[in-house]
Structure 1
């Protein structure tokens, strides 16, 4: 019985964190190399397969792109890089025949990092564009 309480105590923070995540959004991240806005073929195909997995995508979801960078290169460079990254992902969506009016974009650049920029792995994780599907509520 004590083991059960210990396990529950250890899992409680995970359960609380899971509850804090918005349940109405569906997210896929596209990752980039340092200073790059090129999307490799594997990630492009993975994005297409992911989008294809949603029946009636255009009728049910609004697509939001949120781009991030690491802090290397300074504010002005990262604002430009963030914009170029979101435009690269938007280009893939347009090639997939998703109308431009279904896509909104927020370029954060080096502001509001989700992961710590104090570590190499954190900086790698911040070099991304999140493709977020929000359900359309009628």
Structure 2
């Protein structure tokens, strides 16, 4: 019984290390939106560009994934549309930065799979975002 418990603990510790390594490999920046909006303000665009410029050889080392989220206000169909509009807005900003479209993939979650609780106003604000995630290219 003790050896089985020790094995479970070791597996959990090892799994935690793997998860931590995966999270360390990715680099993330979030773009936040107002309720019902897919407008990205100039300050966030400037911050996104500065962030991208701070990563040496970014296009050679990383692929980009855009993951879009919404709060639940407005229902499923509306939030699917809004999520798509948000990720497309961020994609256009990246394309204007001369990032090739082939380097960008998109996942629109809409109101599904929220990271923050939608039971509070603050949680809903945090869910109104597109995460720009850089994943290392594995050769």
**TM-score of the two chains, using structure 2 as the length reference:** 0.85
Unmatched runs of 5 consecutive residues or more in structure 1: 1-15
Aligned to 1:136: 137
Superposed, 1:105-124 pairs within 5 Å as 105-124=106-125
Q: Could you list the per-position Cα deviations for residues 59-117 of structure 1 after superposition, in whole angstroms to 9, with x for gaps in the alignment?
A: 00000000000000000000000000000000000000000000000000000000000
Counterparts in 2 of 1:31 and 1:59: CA distance versus 1, 3 Å: same
Q: Distance in 1 between matches of 2:85 and 2:56?
A: 29
Q: Distance in 1 between matches of 2:83 and 2:32?
A: 12
Total equivalences in the alignment: 123
Aligned to 1:52: 53
C-alpha RMSD of matched pairs (Å): 1.7
Aligned to 1:76: 77
For the pair 1:92 / 2:93, whether they are aligned, the reply is yes
Q: Distance in 1 between matches of 2:109 and 2:38?
A: 14
SS in 2 for 1:113: coil
Q: Distance in 1 between matches of 2:83 and 2:20?
A: 30
Aligned to 1:41: 42
SS in 1 for 2:78: helix
Unmatched runs of 5 consecutive residues or more in structure 2: 1-16
Q: Distance in 2 between matches of 1:60 and 1:27?
A: 14
Q: Distance in 2 between matches of 1:93 and 1:129?
A: 13
